């Protein structure tokens, strides 16, 4: 009787301990991912950078990894200001974006140390993508 009780207590403690260990381990690994810019996603080896254009660009500075094929996604949502007229000189991109939608700009495979700049047609608003 007592042995069984002790064994079941030990098993319970082990199970609770194991669960707590598992739970406490999870935030650490997701915190590591958050340390990267939140607007950067790597899917199937392609790096996607999302920037919102409306009354300027957000975020203004994004850090990405070098050596990966990279696509810039510019989102507009009721954007009738000049941030819809986008120029990305380093890849020869120039376009007036749809007021609402997503424009995909191929940035090629940037190298560490590169800096990609997006700028509005008037040179008033800009954003930077820094390659680390």
Which positions touch Cu ion (CB under 5 A)? 82, 120, 122, 124
How far apart are the C-alpha atoms of 21 and 30, rounded to whole Å?
A: 15
Task: Pull the structure tokens for residue 49.
Answer: 């950078």
How many helices, marked H, and strands, marked E, lie in the chain? 1, 10
Q: Nearest distance from residue 76's CB to Cu ion, in Å?
A: 14
**Cβ closest to Cu ion, residue 72 vs residue 119:** 119
How far apart are the C-alpha atoms of 2 and 8, rounded to whole Å?
A: 10
**Cβ closest to Cu ion, residue 68 vs residue 87:** 87
Q: Nearest distance from residue 125's CB to Cu ion, in Å?
A: 5
How far apart are the C-alpha atoms of 43 and 88, rounded to whole Å?
A: 23
**Cβ closest to Cu ion, residue 73 vs residue 82:** 82
Q: Nearest distance from residue 121's CB to Cu ion, in Å?
A: 6
């Amino acid at each position: 009787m007592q042995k069984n009780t002790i064994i079941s207590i030990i098993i319970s403690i082990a199970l609770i301990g194991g669960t707590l260990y598992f739970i406490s381990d999870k935030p650490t690994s997701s915190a590591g991912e958050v340390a990267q810019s939140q607007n950067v996603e790597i899917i199937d080896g392609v790096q996607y950078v999302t920037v919102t254009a409306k009354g300027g660009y957000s975020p203004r500075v994004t850090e990405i990894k070098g050596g990966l094929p990279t696509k810039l996604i510019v989102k507009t949502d009721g954007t009738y200001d000049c941030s819809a007229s986008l120029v990305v000189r380093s890849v020869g991109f120039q376009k007036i974006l749809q007021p609402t939608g997503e424009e995909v700009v191929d940035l090629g495979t940037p190298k560490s140390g590169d800096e990609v700049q997006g700028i509005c047609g008037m040179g008033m608003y800009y954003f930077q993508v820094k390659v680390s």
